[in-house]
Amino acid sequence: AAEAETARLAEEKRLAAEAETARLAEEERLAVEAEAARLAEEKRLAAEAEAARLAEEKRLAAEAEASRLAEEERLTKERKLAEETEAARLAEEKRLADEELARKMAAESKIVFDTNALAERAAVEAKAAAERAAHTNDEADITRAKFLEQRANAQSAIAAKVLAAEVDALKAKAATEVRFAEQRSAAQAMITKEKRKIYDPDSATVSGSIGSADQQMIGSDKAAKERETADALAYQEAEQANRRGNKHLEVKEWTMAVKEYEKAVKLAPRNATIRNNLAVALYTIMDFSGAKTQIEIAIDIDPQNVIAWAKKGDIETIMNEYREAMNSYKAGLVLDPSDAACQEGLRKCIVQIEEKAAAHAKEQADNRISELRAAALAQAAAQAKVKEEIKATEERAAAKGRAQAESRIAELKIEAAKLAEKKRVAAAEGKAKAESRIAELKIEAVKLAEKKRVAAAEGKAKAESRIAELKIEAAKLAEEKKAAEQLERRLAEEARLAEEARLAEEARL
């Protein structure tokens, strides 16, 4: 009976130990699987968040670009409409001013509204009025001749300014195109020269007096070894010049650094690192065109260099070439989506484009307001001149007759009233357009601010939700750990009690 009881207790103890071991192994397996699942879930969520962030940045960049293009198109339409309105206004003023002369010149079939035609017509009218005034010696004709002469001078000045502005614009455009073409040609020639392996057959052949194939092979091997030795020496000298340039760059001796890097480039023209260093030095001394040329050659040599793409974007940004800079930063992000320099450069470039568009819109609004003010001042001057003519006519009316003077005064008053009405209408239209444009800009600014606020709020909410989930998971793990510790203590206590019972039973037996 004792042996049977002992065997039974041993079997029960073995089975309990096996069950406990299996349970602990299962719990450990489940914990490992849960940890692996948690890590996989965190990795998946991080990947989704990164993809969502990149997609959001891409969407915002696309929206900014579309907004910029839409703004440019809208501004172009507004400018075209303003030009057409201004042209119509000038045409209407010209028609009203030439009604009396148009009745006398029946042979004229139409009125040419371009600037040169207006100037020529005004000169002809002024000449005719001057001849008539000289012939009649009448005060009214003299006044009219002076007025037409001043108008002809103004039209001639406007025509000359327009022509000069067009000529200057064409010259500037041609000079810019020539300069860009020269820069592109120089860069292309440099790249082609570096890509092409220049080889002079005459320098690599042995003299014809040798004659045999063995001697020619020996001469070729010797020339090849000499070229390899010369290339190795040139590379070593280039590395030394590059190190000297780095030392000069560290102590801010920019000019000396540029000279050393240029020596290194001449010795090793296919070294992308030296080209990149030369671009940095040229950028430091504000030679942005040269820096851009060198960084483009470095990228042509090593297109996978993310740092070179970022530096190219920085150079194009400082040169106000924002679209090219955006393309450079995007090319760098294609190679390394996590590159901080390209991400920051792209963000700054988008901000610069938005600020430039806003400044351009403000400048156009200011220019339009200035034009309206100038037109108002011109109309005020014309009105003042009409008033002076009225006063002079009133003084001459005492000598020539009250009836003729009163008739002339009435005509001048009518003209003054028309000019005042035109001034009022123009001022009202200009003010309404300016207020409308300011309101549109304010609405656009509010929309942009709201978009930024919504994006920030969404990001904050996602972060808080993820933090809460992590806290819950941590609490669950703590509870599981606490339960496992309690189970270990309970099992230890049961094992102790079983051992005491076994010892007591053995003592009893």
- Residue from 307, 309, 301 nearest 326 by CA: 309
**CA distance linking residue 328 with residue 335, whole number of Å:** 11
Both tokens assigned to 209? 């007096």
Mean pLDDT along residues 138-156: 76
In angstroms, how far apart are the furthest CA atoms of the chain? 162
Highest mean pLDDT among 108-112, 259-263, 362-366, 465-469: 259-263
Sign of CA dihedral 423, 428, 431, 436: negative
Split at pLDDT 50, 70, 90, the class of 168 is low
Query: Which helix (H) or strand (E) is 282 found in, with range?
Result: helix 272-284
Burial of 250 (0-12, 13-18, 19+ CB in 10 A): exposed
Q: Could you read off the pLDDT of 219-249 as tens digits, one per residue?
A: 555 565 666 666 677 778 888 888 899 998 8
* CA–CA distance, 79 with 19 (Å, rounded to integer): 87
Q: Quick check: 342 and 333 in contact, CB under 8 A?
A: yes
Query: How far apart are the C-alpha atoms of 292 and 312, rounded to whole Å?
Result: 6
| Among the listed residues 360, 349, 313, the one whose alpha carbon sits nearest the alpha carbon of residue 71 | 360
| pLDDT, position 33 | 92
Mean pLDDT across the stretch 85-98? 80
Which candidate, 250, 259, 301, places its Cα nearest to that of 278? 259
pLDDT for residue 198 is more than 50: no
Q: What is the mean pLDDT of residues 197-210?
A: 39
Closest CA to 129 of 110, 96, 105: 105
Residue 506 confidence (pLDDT) above 80: yes
pTM: 0.33
* 392 or 92, higher pLDDT: 92
The predicted structure's pLDDT at residue 111: 36
- CB-CB contact of 368 with 434 (8 Å): yes
Q: 26 pLDDT exceeds 90?
A: yes
pLDDT surpassing 70 at residue 451: no
Of 158-162, 293-297, 321-325, 353-357, least confident by mean pLDDT is 158-162
Confidence category of residue 433, pLDDT binned at 50, 70, 90: low
Per the listing, tokens 């294609």 go with 334
User: Span 5-31, mean pLDDT?
Assistant: 92
